[in-house]
Amino acid sequence: MNKIYVANFSIEEKIFLITDLKIVHKLLNVLRLTKGALFIVFNDNKQQYIVEIIDHNHGSIKIKIINESNSMSISNTNVILAVAFPKGKRGDWLVEKATELGVNKIIVLRTDRSIMNPGQGRIEKWQKIAIQASEQCGRTDIPKIESGKLEDLNGIIMIAVTKGGINIEESLIKIDVQKKDLTLNFLVGPEGDWSKEEEKKLIHDGAIPVSLGKRILRVETAAIVGMSIISLWINSEN
């Protein structure tokens, strides 16, 4: 069943009017849904319901709630992916795949050797990609995309390094995934790697240097490999 994110969707009334023209266009012209069609709608409050189209025109769609839809269980672990983004569409792919893997937040890191300093327009584009990926993979929550610095991070920090790191699986085994409100940050540096000062300070402050293997991976590859391992770890422990 098709799943659509509607930010202002409310369950206070059994009948709800969708007026966002982009959503209306997607439902009527892309998915080609008509009167009587069912789909799933979810919002920022992680509410998810099966709804039916009872009327529509070119500017709006009237829906009624049929019943609540079962949603995926959400882990206690809050996973933050902090990356010094690459240029071009590689960042789009990174956001899409990280969303599918369950990341809760994506931080575009500003580091000593960052080559990407996105403006608000780019951030908004990535946020839309995250929404679309959430719809596709069945999530009821959408990761927030924002810019940030290393000193803004809190919680357990894992930093991907090219030399000397502990195998990431071994590092994860030592973490109590059942702990409530656990925040795990996975950091990937820029294409020019971390500066010596950054890496030294992070490790001095308690960050765990982790290895993703012997090969030197591109930024977006390292981010998704790390997130894949973390996702499997969370799912196996819950």
Q: Cα–Cα distance between 108 and 148 in angstroms, integer?
A: 6
| Token digits of residue 103 | 């990341």
- Which pTM was predicted? 0.84
State the chain's mean pLDDT as an integer: 89
Q: Cα–Cα distance between 155 and 96 in angstroms, integer?
A: 24
Q: Quote the distance between the C-alpha of residue 84 and its chain's center.
A: 16
Domains (range + CATH), the chain: 3-68 (2.40.240.20), 78-237 (3.40.1280.10)
Per-residue pLDDT for 228 more than 70? yes
How confident is the model at residue 178, as a pLDDT?
64
Q: What percentage of the chain reaches a pLDDT higher than 90?
A: 62
Local confidence band at 46 (pLDDT 50, 70, 90 cut-offs): confident
Q: Cα–Cα distance between 49 and 70 in angstroms, integer?
A: 8
Local confidence band at 157 (pLDDT 50, 70, 90 cut-offs): very high
Question: What is the three-state SS of the chain?
Answer: CCEEECCCCCCCCCEEEECCHHHHHHHHHHCCCCCCCEEEEECCCCCEEEEEEEEECCCCEEEEEEEECCCCCCCCCEEEEEECCCCCCHHHHHHHHHHHCCCCEEEEEECCCCCCCCCHHHHHHHHHHHHHHHHHHCCCCCCEEEEEEHHHCCCEEEEECCCCCEEHHHHHHCCCCCCCCCEEEEEECCCCCCCHHHHHHHHHCCCEEEECCCCCCCHHHHHHHHHHHHHHHHHHHC
How confident is the model at residue 238, as a pLDDT?
56
How confident is the model at residue 67, as a pLDDT?
86
Local confidence band at 200 (pLDDT 50, 70, 90 cut-offs): very high
Residues 6 or more apart whose Cβ sits within 8 Å of residue 238: 73, 75, 76, 177, 178
How confident is the model at residue 125, as a pLDDT?
95
Local confidence band at 74 (pLDDT 50, 70, 90 cut-offs): low
